[in-house]
Structure formats: C-alpha cells, structure tokens
Amino acid sequence: MRPALATVGLALAAAAAGCARSKRYYSHVEVLRVAARRMERGTGLPRMLDVEVRYVDCPGTQTEVIRGGQDFARCFYERNRVGARVGVQIEHHPTRDGEWEWHVLSVGGCARPPDHNDEASFETVQECRDVFAYGQRIGFRCDRIPQRELLARCPWFRRR
Amino acid sequence: MKRGGWTWRRALPFAGWLAVLVALAAMWSSRNASAQHRAGRREGHHLRLRVHADGGLPEGEGEGEREGDVDAAVVAPANPAVDPSDAGVTGDGGDLHPIDYAVLVDGGGVPIHTEGAFRSPFAHPRFGRSVRVSVGLMLANVRDFDIQKGTFHADFFLSLTSRRPMPAMDLLLTNGNAEVRETIADTPTFKLYRFIGDFDTDVDIHDYPFDTQELSIEVEDDDNGIDQVRLVPDREHTALDVGFRVPGWETSFIEARSLNHYYPDRFEGDDLYYSRYVFRLGIRRYSTSAVFTVFFPAVVIVLISFLGLWLPREELEVRSNSTTPMLPAAVLFHYALIQSLPATGYLTRADKLMMAVYTCLGMHMVISWLWFVLPPRLGNKVHRWGLWIGAPLTVVLMVLGIRS
C-alpha cells in the first residue's frame, strides 16, 4: 500500500513540476517603431533601444515594446528597419506568485538578455472587435484576457 | 466742365471720411459681438434659456447690440474665403449663439429654429456640417474603487482630434466630478486634457464572487449638440497606461462607445441630441481569491456537518455538536460576506451558495431531531435512511449551490 501511495505522490509531484516548467517559443513580429535611447558620443550609435513590435502570427492586436541594452541596440540598429518582419524568441515561465510571464530573448537575430530592473518594456495583449447597435457601429471593445484561440496559437500569452 | 470738376474735388474727401466712419462702426460692432458671445459662453445654456424665455435679455446686453450681432455675423463674415457651410466653425457664425437667432413663433415662450433638423434653441442650423471628433482616452490610474458605493477615482488623458476645426467646447463629465482639469493642448483641430476626479458607476454583483465590474467614464459636450459635434471613439488612441493595475482585480476589457444622448423634454421644442462618449474599463475579481474567500469556507462548514451524518444515535451529542454550531457559523460568514456589498434586489451567486448551505445544515439538523420525534424502535432506520438520503442530497444541493 505504502509503495503505491508513494508512487502516486511522486507521479503527481513530477506532473506538477512538469506543468510549471518554462518553455521557449519562436514566432514572427513586425517592427512598428525603433527609438534609440541614449546615443553614444562619437560613434552616434544607440546605447539603449526601444523596439515596438506586433506579433503577426497571433490573432488580435498584440504589441510589445522591447527595450534592450547596448549590444542589442547596435545589432538591431544595423540589421533591422521599421516595417520588417523578423523572428523573435520568447521564454514563457512561471513567476513566484503562481502566474506566468514571458520575456523576449532575441529579436531580428539580435540577442536581448532581459534585465530585471527594466520597467520600460511593456506589452498590450488584446483582441478588439467593433460594437454594433441596430446594425450601426457605435464603438469597439478590446478584451484584455487572452481568449482560447489566441492561446492556442500563441501560448506564451497565458498568464495563469 | 470746370464747375463739375470742382464738385468732384469737394465730394471726394467727404466720401473718404464716410468710408472711414463705416469701417470704424463695423469694427466696433464686431468687437461687441465677440465680447457678448464670450460672456454668453460663460453663462452657459441654462442661464441663457431662462433669460431669453422670459422675453428679456441678459444684464448688460442691449436690444440694439443683439441685433448688431446678427447683422455682423450674417452680413459680414470675418473670413469670406471660408466655405459658408463651415461658417460657424471658423468663428463668424460661432460668434452668434444659436439661441440669438431662434425665433418666437407665437410671440412668446421658447424660441425655436425654423430652419435645420432641430427646433431646439440650442441647435445651430447655420453651423454647417457637424464636425467628427475622434476621442482617445488613456487611463493612467484607477484607485479607491468602492463596490458598495459604486465610486472610483480615476486619472486619465482625453484627446480630441478632428480634420475640420471644432467649435468651442465645454466638456462635461456626466458621471463624475473633476478635481483636476488641465488643458494641455487647445488648437482648433486638436485638444488634449488631463482629468483627475471621482466617478460613479453601476455595480452588478449577480455573479459575485466571480463578478466583472464596469467602471465608466462619460464625457459630453455641454455646449454643442450633434448638429455641431459628433464624438467618435478612437481605437488607436484608447489605452491603459504601462503597468496599469486595479488592486484586487484583473483587467478584463476596455470599451469605448459613442451614443446620441437625448434628454427628456426639459422645455418645448427640446429635440436636440447631444453626442456622448462612454469609456468602460472591465475589471474581474481574481477567481482564485473568490474560491478561497467564499467557496472554500462554505464547503468546509457543510463538510463538518456532513460527516456527522455517519454518527449513530449513541453519539448524538457529538453529532449535534458537528451540525448545530455550523448554522451560526454559516450565518456569521454570510453576514461578513454581504457587509462589503451593496444592498440588491436579487440574489448573488454567493447568496445562492449560502442558501444551499443553510438547506443542507437544516436537513442535517432535522435528521438528528427525528430521533427525538419518532419512537426509539425506529432509531436505526432513521440513521440508515438519514445517511442514504441526507448524504447524496447534501452533495446535490452543494453542487447546485456552487454552479448556480
């Protein structure tokens, strides 16, 4: 009896550990905006770069502003331009409070190690639709909690 | 011939002076018209309505001056190059308040407009096509959401953008009061404001503790009806600030709508619609918190009583102690829950769950009391049937209560 219980316990623990493991994803984004922050004197190259991207493979309007340091800034500044469609590597991992978050590890072939002090990067995950009354468009509504279709195609947007 | 030439030479200076006098008179008249218009804007619609409906004029306005306004605005537009349909937009028709050229049909009562789509004295048929104004809203902060009072404190930026110049606008927060109202930009085609204030909102707790609340911010132009201004939600510029959070809630959705607000007739001919912009922030209570603060305690209360069903008559004291104290515990727990909620005319989901809890506890107590009511020889049957009927019924009732 005891070995059986222990086996079940171990299996449950392993399953729980497996569920909460971080995972990496690869997707595509369109570069919407590139803004250099803090230029280096002499070379004129950015020391910090904000890149606003839109996830083109995901339904809805999913945009993210990604800030990167000097190496990322120089690499991205030289290789990519606004309007380009580039690859992006994402890490989806659990947080201490039981929720989930993601970090962009590279964009457009440029590595971007996340800095935990970064408060400038942010994302807007929403799916918008028009609101009609009696056939007339009267406004819009954007859902901020990811729906099933979005999570099926872009699972890193899951927060719970 | 010689005499005729002398006449022309004498007449020319007179003609010149006459022209200068006419120009000065026109300038003086135009300045008065602008001053009166500005004063009228400050007074607001309702004051104007009251004064004019009485058949008199606001203090400081003379009959002749008012007529001068009409002449100056209609006969001599300030900018002749502008399309007459946009006259009000560019300031000439705008100098003339709509009520100033409304007419009294029966010689008294409410002045109305006989031209244009609306009869209301506040309609502006000479304004031309209404201006389509895109409204963007960036919500920076929401705090102090009080679900019992249905109030919250919000800090937001509001942008108004149009292709054609907007008329002078007086934005009104119809469901709140602005403590801070800062005008950051004010150009004819672009305006940016910052508002900080307290707002009221409707609260719907049918689904409590899994409820979603909608926090509304409503904006209306107090000065102009839909014949002048149409507010249209701007999706591209409606957003939440970076790191936006409402403590205890998760952001569910944002929504913006425009509606044509119609006031029930405040006076005769009050048929003008006003464009109203409504922004809604949907916030959802964290479900984990809801389960642990409402459902879990309720289930534990029933579970303790439920386990007592297995105790035989010999353990009646223990059995009673597992059931009876649970009832006051449930009442106190329910009381604590509803303390934080407003009074409603309906049952919330938590209320329905508590109804199931009360029913289960009542049933368990009745089963125990049967031992005292029925003859002792039926003691075993009461225990057996109480278990076989009471236990599944408890499970069914609780499932119904949780799923309700």
Contacts of B243 in chain A (CB under 8 A): 119, 122
Two structure tokens written together for B333: 């727990």
How far apart (Å, rounded) are the C-alpha atoms in residues B21 and B27? 10
Which of A33, A67, A125, A141 should be substituted to probe chain B, the one whose Cβ sees the most B Cβ atoms within 10 Å? A141
pLDDT of residue A15: 56
In angstroms, the CA B118 to CA B168 distance is 20
Which DSSP string do the residues of B326-373 spell out, in sequence order? HHHHHHHHHHHHHHTS---SS--HHHHHHHHHHHHHHHHHHHHHHHHH
Chain A positions touching B235 (Cβ under 8 A) are 128, 140, 142
Q: Is B234 on the interface with A (CB under 8 A)?
A: no
Reply yes or no on whether the pLDDT at B212 is more than 50: yes
Whether A143 has its CB under 8 Å from any CB of chain B: the answer is: yes
Cβ within 8 Å, pair B255-A139: yes
Nearest to A140 among B252, B256, B259 (CB): B256
Q: For B162-211, where are the E strands, in sequence order?
A: 171-173, 176-187, 190-200
| Identity of residue B310 | W
- Using a CB–CB cutoff of 8 Å, tell me whether B5 touches chain A: no
Q: Tell me the one-letter amino acid at A57.
A: D
Question: Do B255 and A144 lie within an 8 Å CB cutoff?
Answer: no
Residue A145, chain B, CB below 8 Å: the answer is yes
Structure tokens at B177: 């009061």
pLDDT at site B100: 87
Q: Is the pTM here over 0.80, yes or no?
A: no
Q: CA of B134: which chain A residue's CA is closest? A: A139
Q: Do B255 and A142 touch (CB under 8 A)?
A: yes
Predicted complex: ipTM over 0.85: no
Between A and B, how many residue pairs show a Cβ–Cβ distance under 8 A?
44
Summarize pLDDT for A3-56 with one digit per residue, the tens: 555 556 655 655 555 556 889 999 999 999 999 887 877 777 888 999 999 999
Residue A73, burial from CB neighbour count under 10 angstroms (0-12, 13-18, 19+): buried
Query: A133: distance to nearest CA of chain B, Å?
Result: 10
Flag the least confident range among A82-91, B23-32, B117-126, B217-226.
Answer: B23-32
Nearest to B254 among A98, A122, A144 (CB): A144
At residue A99, the pLDDT reads 84
